[in-house]
């Protein structure tokens, strides 16, 4: 950030990159030629009719809200706005917004749901034991900080795919706000300085983080000239520039001799359109993230098991000790299944249908008992022992006036990722490799538990908890929701959804209410947030039941939009500095 521009000599890569760009140009010219050939007159499709009286966003900062507003004013749709938001956050929220990470986008467009997986992938040279020393012990921090923590980034390819497929505006237009913030600067707020200071301690002496980001101080206008250049190249040459052009050369050069990501890994990276998960619940269709996220399966399991346990929940006060106890037992089962059956769907045939099957979930719900002593009965995956056949994150929600929606969660994994900045590129790279099981049977801090399904393998996508979700009612968007928070993502979304629909709370109350988290491991532990600690009588009651209470160091940051009438209602989590904005 405002550091002298580094000249990045990249001779070994330049000729390949040039060849790629030339090839692309030739293909483009051929295609362009076909556009000028007179074509038979086609019936003109009428422009889509607005079904809402405004568009809306719920985003983690005000700059990205402004970017979205410009895009809507220029006639863009929800995907255009989402892509502009994603690139803007890469500039203004560099702890989590990114071009050096990856994520998931759930889209509802012209009446149909889609899911785009642009999750990072392990580089080809990655091996199962790459984080272990000679004695088989985990090398502390190696999967979290520095070059070897970096997986092949997917964000730019994801944004390119989504915008090319569904966007209305020109690619350059949607990058313009981000380029402006990188060039002209943005004002750092105290929360960003705090996140910077915490991360800088971790990275000190280990990465080049401070050379770029030491000026993230509250009140300072920060310009990022190298990032501006990178974004401008991507704007001019398209998403492939990141994977094949000068930016790819800069990444490969940064990795060379230290990390495993090569230019070949970048060239091979592809985002994948997958079938979104869909389940009926409470009169809604829940459209959510399939594997390699565990979040969608877990969310559906929680919602359905809670509905199956209606009698047990009847009359229980929200977030009372007996309520938390029942939810914790549901969560034990969700996280047991997560550990045992969910991994990269390109490596394993994940039994998605079985895990979300009504009869299966009713049987699992039947195991939940109000008077069970926590941890008394060991909980395992519910489908038996058979292995499947081989075969600081941020979220934003967008709805446009045509009734389209985007729910997008993307991440660097940890705050500021690996702390490695691409010299000459001006952006941080992720530490998504830590979402793999770095040592079988050792739980990762962000994942829940550990299993062979999620060990490091070349090209594999690490298991994720990101759960960008859209609820439909009569095939119209009714709720767009998501949050950061690692394995707390699905349990947070579940709680806000049940607050809204089971307890009929207003969006503000649903977001403000206390949230807690429990997962199978560590056993008998209920986590609480800094925003709303569990203390006093409730704490005593939970302890008396046999639970240990533990504070988390961070809050979630749910961004959601409810659509019930003609005007969408966006709400940003009061835990963060997000903005809900309606744009008539």
How many CA atoms within 13 Å lie on the side-chain side of 68?
33
Quote the least distance from Cβ 131 to ligand DON, whole Å: 16
User: Is residue 464 within the footprint of ligand DON (CB under 6 A)?
Assistant: yes
Residue 60, interface with ligand DON (CB under 6 A)?
no
Q: Based on CB atoms, which residue is closest to ligand DON, 260 or 493?
A: 493
- Give Cα separations from 12 to 8, 243, 250, 281 (angstroms): 12, 15, 11, 55
User: 569: which 2 tokens?
Assistant: 């209602």
> Residue 556 Cβ, how far from ligand DON at the closest point, in Å?
8
Is 439 or 461 the residue whose CB approaches ligand DON more closely?
Answer: 461
Nearer to ligand DON, 77 or 394 (CB): 394
Q: For residues 339 and 392, which CB has a smaller minimum distance to ligand DON in the complex?
A: 392
Min dist CB 413 to ligand DON, Å, is: 4
- Using CB under 6 A, which of 466, 480, 510, 583 touches ligand DON? 466
Binding map of ligand DON across residues 514-553, x = CB under 6 A, - = no contact: ----------------------------------------
Q: Is 579 in the site for ligand DON (CB under 6 A)?
A: no
Q: Judged by CB, which is closer to ligand DON: 459, or 546?
A: 459
How many residues comprise the chain? 584
**What are 482's two structure tokens?**
């998501």
Give the three-class secondary structure for 359: helix
| Subset of 315-374 contacting ligand DON (CB under 6 A) | none
Give whichever of 446 and 449 is closer to ligand DON, judged by the CB atom: 446
Binds ligand DON (CB under 6 A): choice among 70, 173, 411, 478: 411
Catalytic residue (one of 288, 393, 483, 491): 393
What dihedral angle (degrees, nearest 10) is formed by the CA atoms of 330, 335, 341, 342? 120
How far is it, in rounded angstroms, from Cα 405 to Cα 477?
7
- Residue 33: CB minimum distance to ligand DON, A: 43
Kindly tell me which of 296 and 424 has the beta carbon lying closer to ligand DON: 296
DSSP character string of 256-286: TTT-S--HHHHHH---EEEPPEEEEETTEEE
555 touching ligand DON, by CB under 6 A: no
* Residue 102 beta carbon to ligand DON: minimum distance, rounded to whole angstroms: 8
- Site track 421-450 with ligand DON (rule: CB under 6 A), x = hit: --------------x----------x----
Minimum CB separation from ligand DON for residue 60, in Å?
A: 11
Min dist. Cβ of residue 566 to ligand DON (A) = 34
Q: Which residue has the tokens 């968007």?
A: 477
Beta strands in 17-85 (DSSP E): 55-59
User: In terms of CB distance, is 393 or 519 closer to ligand DON?
Assistant: 393
Nearest distance from residue 39's CB to ligand DON, in Å?
Answer: 45
Give the shortest CB-196-to-ligand DON separation in angstroms: 15
- Encoding tokens for residue 224? 């990022």
Residue 224, interface with ligand DON (CB under 6 A)? no
Q: Could you write out the DSSP letters of every residue in 443-475? A: --SSSS---GGGB--TTPPPPB----EEEEETT
Please name the residue that has the structure tokens 């580089």.
123
- 413 touching ligand DON, by CB under 6 A: yes
Query: Looking only at residues 475 through 494 of this chain, which bind ligand DON when binding is defined by CB under 6 A?
Result: 484-486, 489
DSSP β-bridge partners for residue 118: 103
378-415: b (≥16 Cβ within 10 Å) or e:
ebebbbeeeebeeebbbbbbbbbbbbbbbbbbbbbbbb
Q: For residues 240 and 462, which CB has a smaller minimum distance to ligand DON in the complex? A: 462
Q: Phi then psi for 359, rounded to 5 degrees?
A: -65, -40
DSSP 378: -
Two tokens, residue 557? 């940051």
Angstrom distances, CA of residue 503 to CA of 235, 285, 322, 433:
46, 19, 16, 39
Nearest-angstrom CA–CA distance, 293 and 345: 9
Do the Cβ atoms of 519 and 327 come closer than 8 Å? no
Q: Contact with ligand DON (CB under 6 A): which of 253, 397, 465, 491?
A: 465
Torsion of CA 491, 496, 502, 506, to 10 degrees: 170
At its nearest, how many Å lie between ligand DON and the CB of residue 13?
A: 29
CA dist 450 and 444 (Å) reads 7
Residues 6+ apart with CB under 8 A from 268: 124, 152, 459
Q: Does 393 qualify as catalytic in the annotation?
A: yes
Whole-Å CA distances, 489 to 111, 206, 207, 428, 431? 26, 30, 29, 23, 18
Of 441 and 553, CB closest to ligand DON: 553
Which residue's Cβ lies closest to ligand DON? 393
Looking at 160-168, 354-362, 365-373, 462-470, which segment touches ligand DON (CB under 6 A)?
462-470
Q: 161 is written with which tokens?
A: 């795919």
Q: Minimal distance in Å, beta carbon 432 to ligand DON? A: 6
Q: Does 392 interact with ligand DON (rule: CB under 6 A)?
A: yes
d(CA 239, CA 245): 10
Question: Could you say which of 64, 393, 454, 495 contacts ligand DON (CB under 6 A)?
Answer: 393
Q: Which is nearer to ligand DON, 343 or 484 (CB)?
A: 484
Strands laid side by side in the 548-551 sheet: 516-517, 525-528, 548-551
Q: Which two tokens stand for residue 166?
A: 């569904």
Stretch near ligand DON under the rule CB under 6 A, chosen from 76-84, 187-195, 459-467, 529-537 = 459-467
* The CA-based dihedral angle spanning residues 116, 296, 391, 443, taken in that order and rounded to the nearest 10 degrees: 110
Residues in contact with ligand DON, counted by CB under 6 A, come to a total of 14
Q: Which of residues 102-161 bind ligand DON (CB under 6 A)?
A: none
Q: What residues are labeled active site?
A: 393
Binding site for ligand DON (CB under 6 A): 392-393, 411, 413, 435, 446, 464-466, 484-486, 489, 554
């Amino acid at each position: 950030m405002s550091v002298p521009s580094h000249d990045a000599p990249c001779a070994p890569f330049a000729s390949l990159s040039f060849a790629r760009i030339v090839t692309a140009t030739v293909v483009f010219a051929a295609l362009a030629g076909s556009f000028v050939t007179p074509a038979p007159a086609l019936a003109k499709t009428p422009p889509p009719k607005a079904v809402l009286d405004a568009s809306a966003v719920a985003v983690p900062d005000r700059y990205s809200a402004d970017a979205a507003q410009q895009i809507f004013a220029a006639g863009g749709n929800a995907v255009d706005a989402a892509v502009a938001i994603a690139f803007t956050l890469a500039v203004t929220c560099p702890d989590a917004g990114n071009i050096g990470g990856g994520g998931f986008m759930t889209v509802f467009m012209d009446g149909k749901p889609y899911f785009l997986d642009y999750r990072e992938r392990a580089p080809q040279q990655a091996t199962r034991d790459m984080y272990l020393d000679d004695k088989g012990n985990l090398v502390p921090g190696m999967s979290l900080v520095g070059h070897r923590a970096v997986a092949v980034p997917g964000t730019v390819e994801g944004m390119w795919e989504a915008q090319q497929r569904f966007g209305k505006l020109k690619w350059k237009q949607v990058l313009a706000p981000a380029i402006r913030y990188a060039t002209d600067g943005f004002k750092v707020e105290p929360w960003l300085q705090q996140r910077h200071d915490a991360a800088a301690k971790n990275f000190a002496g280990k990465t080049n983080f401070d050379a770029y980001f030491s000026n993230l101080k509250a009140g300072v206008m920060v310009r990022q000239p190298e990032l501006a250049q990178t974004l401008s190249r991507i704007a001019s040459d398209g998403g492939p520039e990141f994977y094949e052009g000068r930016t790819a050369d800069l990444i490969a050069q940064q990795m060379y001799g230290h990390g495993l990501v090569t230019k070949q890994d970048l060239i091979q990276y592809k985002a994948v359109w997958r079938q979104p998960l869909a389940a009926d619940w409470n009169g809604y269709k829940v459209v959510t993230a399939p594997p390699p996220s565990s979040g969608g399966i877990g969310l559906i399991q929680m919602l359905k098991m809670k509905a199956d346990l209606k009698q047990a929940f009847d009359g229980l006060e929200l977030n009372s000790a007996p309520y938390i106890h029942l939810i914790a037992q549901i969560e034990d089962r969700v996280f047991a299944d997560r550990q045992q059956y969910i991994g990269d769907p390109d490596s394993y045939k994940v039994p998605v249908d079985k895990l979300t099957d009504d009869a299966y979930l009713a049987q699992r719900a039947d195991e939940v008992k109000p008077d069970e002593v926590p941890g008394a009965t060991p909980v395992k995956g519910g489908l038996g022992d058979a292995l499947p056949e081989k075969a600081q994150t941020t979220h934003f929600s967008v709805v446009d006036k045509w009734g389209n929606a985007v729910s997008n969660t993307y991440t660097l994994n940890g705050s500021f990722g690996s702390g490695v900045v691409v010299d000459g590129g001006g952006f941080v790279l992720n530490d998504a490799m830590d979402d793999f099981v770095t040592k079988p049977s050792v739980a990762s801090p962000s994942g829940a538990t550990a299993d062979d399904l999620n060990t490091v393998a070349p090209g594999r996508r690490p298991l994720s908890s990101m759960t960008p979700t859209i609820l439909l009612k009569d095939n119209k968007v009714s709720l767009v929701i998501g949050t950061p928070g690692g394995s707390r993502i699905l349990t947070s979304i579940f709680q806000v959804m049940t607050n809204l629909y089971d307890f009929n709370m207003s969006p503000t109350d649903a977001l403000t209410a206390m949230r807690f988290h429990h997962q199978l491991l560590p056993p008998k532990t209920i986590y609480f947030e800094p925003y709303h600690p569990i203390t006093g009588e409730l704490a005593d009651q939970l302890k008396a039941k046999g639970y240990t209470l533990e504070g988390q160091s961070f809050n979630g940051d749910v961004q959601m939009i409810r659509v019930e009438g003609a005007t969408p209602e966006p709400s940003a989590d009061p835990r963060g500095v997000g903005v809900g904005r309606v744009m008539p």
